Structure 1
Amino acid sequence: MTNDSVERFQQITARLAQYPLQLMTEKEIAISYRENGVKSTTTIVFLHGIGSGSASWLQQLESKFGGCRLIAWDAPGYGDSSLMADSPSESQAYAERLLLFITHLQLDKIHLVGHSLGAIVAAAFAKSWPDKIQSLTLVNPALGYGKSSKKIRDELLNARIADIEKTGVEGMANISPLRLLSANAQQTAFDIVQFNTRRLRHYGYSQAASLLVSSDLIADIENYTKPVLVLYGAEDIVVPEENALLVAKVCQSSIFQKIPDAGHAAYIEQANVFERLLLSFIGNKIKQ
């Protein structure tokens, strides 16, 4: 890292200090998370993608966001969250961990937002516990490869694990902005993406990769009847637009909206547009 990079990352660390990592522990399971400290009956829970973490929602935590309480978790094996002990490849196991999390925090009727792999977890949660969700937003959703052959699933999983084993998190951090952001992304977006990638944990990432290749988001979401917002960064090179459109099509009550000038990590690259669309969707009337 250059001196300039170190300074920029120190600035992100200073910003994150306003939203320190907290730890929930129950049944010998730890889940780390960040929140904005706002007391409100409207709670939005954010689920990050496979190469990220709770700190990726920094801009959302910093925003007034209509006066909502904002909570960003670290998925199993990310941040200080415990790894999955059993069935690491099953979306249901991750959904059960999310249930433990929101139950411990005594959250009721949450607005759930999942990005990429986080969308897979959100969809699995919505399938089993729809009564706990007031609205569901899926951002550049990964569909999973559960319908693919075992040969293809094994190849995809091995490739993911090879990435982190061969290049390490530093090597992945150098590449990740090129995959997750558009060509015109601002430096702040680059920094947030790299900051989170550098904090990946090998086994957490590997388990999440196993989740990705085994899951089928469409199967989980197709019978969900509550409102769903599908947001899609128009410059995404990770998730094809037709995949995101398919998610919107199979949902019984959905809205599909593109976010221009944004890649896969649309909520990072176009935070203001993301906030406006999400608040409009959930119908939040809390004054800033």
Structure 2
Amino acid sequence: MSSTESPDARAVPVVPPARASWVSEGEEVRTVPLPGVTLAVRSRPPATAGLPPALFVHGLGGSSQNWSALMERLADRVDGEALDLPGFGDSPPPDDGDHSITAGARVVIRYLDATGRGPVHLFGNSMGGAIATRVAAVRPDLVRTLTLVSPALPELRLQSTAVPTGLLAVPGVAALFSRLTKDWTPERRTRDVFALCYGDPGRVTSEGFARAVAEYERRLELPYFWDVMTRSARGIVDAYTLGGQHSLWRQAEKVLAPTLLVYGMRDQLVSFRMAGRASRTFRDSRLLTLVDAGHVAMMEDPDAVARAVRELLGETAAMDGRSATPRG
């Protein structure tokens, strides 16, 4: 991936996507055309003008909705936007069908270059955490701070609960699973997702569950749903096997931005044991451990994550102030 990639055209917001997914009060979703992709971008107006920009990137099977709770809690500190990666949420698949981690990083870079919003406070969860890590490594000029929630960085020994998700990368498995589960209701599918992703599914409100069911039902009607899931899972597996300078761990070593790492001790998809390695690898890191959280801590305990982000932003602002003070 080129470290200087920049599209020819600047992003121009257009009308909201047809049949858009759930939009929380105070949010808006717009579509942004870029070379090779069309992105749905969720935003929440900042509490005051002039706040620093932030960008949120979701994980496998997720969408920009995953960040709504955290974006709301940080609206007085950042001007937040969350992407629907190509093929997820309200974004159609990319023209080239590439759902690799590198392709996801290119999309983020393309969007930031086109909009001129960088450097941003960059957030990523799971697959989005791997994408954000790659962006921060190859384009440090675009990233002011980095917050990673259960980032999908390579593990030599996967948890048994994560194996079924990894199997989606195997050709034919997604189609087989689709056939075997064709009689499952959206309610059952949604409960299974929450049981896998949440440390305590009981934290999900009845309203939140109903929204998730409706969203799952909408996605199942998309003709590309399983293909995108398969290609994206394969992209994660492929990224795990890359060595040398393209290794995600090698790129994590190159990240210059102050980094907040968030791990849940009840995560069934990214092992909590990776927290130690991550905190040693990212050179300027701090670690937030949540005892009762699973894979999506920003949804499960957004207040705790927001507090840690505020501390990170405060430290960064203080460092910026010191560096701007004349000496002598």
Normalising by structure 1, what TM-score?
Answer: 0.82
* Distance 1:89-1:144 versus aligned 2 partners, 3 A rule: farther
- Asked if 1:207 corresponds to 2:231, the answer is yes
Q: Retained in 2: the 8 A contact 1:145–1:214?
A: no
- Asked if 1:231 corresponds to 2:278, the answer is no
Q: CA deviation at 1:222?
A: 1.9
Q: CA deviation at 1:184?
A: 5.9
Query: Relative contact order (C-alpha < 8 Å, sep 6+): which is higher?
Result: 1
Q: What secondary structure is seen at the aligned counterpart in 1 of 2:128? A: helix
Q: CA deviation at 1:147?
A: 11
Distance, in Å, in 2 between the alignment partners of 1:91 and 1:24 is 21
2:257 is matched by which residue type in structure 1? K
- Asked if 1:167 corresponds to 2:173, the answer is no
2:34 corresponding residue in structure 1? 26
Distance, in Å, in 1 between the alignment partners of 2:218 and 2:155 is 26
Q: CA deviation at 1:120?
A: 0.8
**Unaligned regions of 5+ residues in structure 1, if any?**
1-11
Q: What secondary structure is seen at the aligned counterpart in 1 of 2:42? A: strand
* TM-superposition CA deviations, 1:154-201 (whole Å, max 9, x none): 955125665456436935423100011123642336556656545543
Q: Retained in 1: the 8 A contact 2:266–2:292?
A: yes
* Distance 1:192-1:186 versus aligned 2 partners, 3 A rule: farther
Distance, in Å, in 2 between the alignment partners of 1:243 and 1:32 is 32
Q: What secondary structure is seen at the aligned counterpart in 1 of 2:200? A: coil
Distance, in Å, in 2 between the alignment partners of 1:220 and 1:143 is 10
My pick for the range that moved more, 76-85 or 29-38, is 76-85
Q: What secondary structure is seen at the aligned counterpart in 2 of 1:81? A: coil
* Distance 1:16-1:224 versus aligned 2 partners, 3 A rule: same
1:40 is matched by which residue type in structure 2? G
My pick for the range that moved more, 63-72 or 104-113, is 63-72
Identity percentage over the alignment?
22
Q: CA deviation at 1:60?
A: 2.2
Which of residues 104, 112, 120 is equivalent to 2:130?
A: 120
* TM-superposition CA deviations, 1:95-116 (whole Å, max 9, x none): 1111111222220210001001
* TM-superposition CA deviations, 1:98-140 (whole Å, max 9, x none): 1111222220210001001100110111121011100111101
* Distance 1:198-1:61 versus aligned 2 partners, 3 A rule: farther
1:277 corresponding residue in structure 2? 308
1:107 is matched by which residue type in structure 2? R
1:254 is matched by which residue type in structure 2? S
Q: What secondary structure is seen at the aligned counterpart in 2 of 1:16? A: coil
* Distance 1:265-1:165 versus aligned 2 partners, 3 A rule: farther
Which of residues 75, 78, 82 is equivalent to 2:85?
A: 75
Distance, in Å, in 1 between the alignment partners of 2:175 and 2:145 is 34
* Distance 1:160-1:172 versus aligned 2 partners, 3 A rule: farther
Q: Retained in 2: the 8 A contact 1:177–1:193?
A: no
- Asked if 1:182 corresponds to 2:196, the answer is no
Q: Retained in 1: the 8 A contact 2:28–2:44?
A: no
Q: Retained in 2: the 8 A contact 1:145–1:213?
A: no
* Distance 1:71-1:19 versus aligned 2 partners, 3 A rule: same
Q: What secondary structure is seen at the aligned counterpart in 2 of 1:108? A: coil
1:9 corresponding residue in structure 2? none
Normalising by structure 2, what TM-score?
Answer: 0.72
My pick for the range that moved more, 199-208 or 19-28, is 199-208
* Distance 1:35-1:160 versus aligned 2 partners, 3 A rule: same
Structure with larger Rg: 2
How many residue pairs get aligned? The number is 270
Q: What secondary structure is seen at the aligned counterpart in 2 of 1:235? A: coil
* Distance 1:139-1:163 versus aligned 2 partners, 3 A rule: farther
2:264 is matched by which residue type in structure 1? G
Please list, as runs of the form range in 1=range in 2, the aligned pairs for 1:222-261 lying within 5 A after superposition.
222-261=253-292
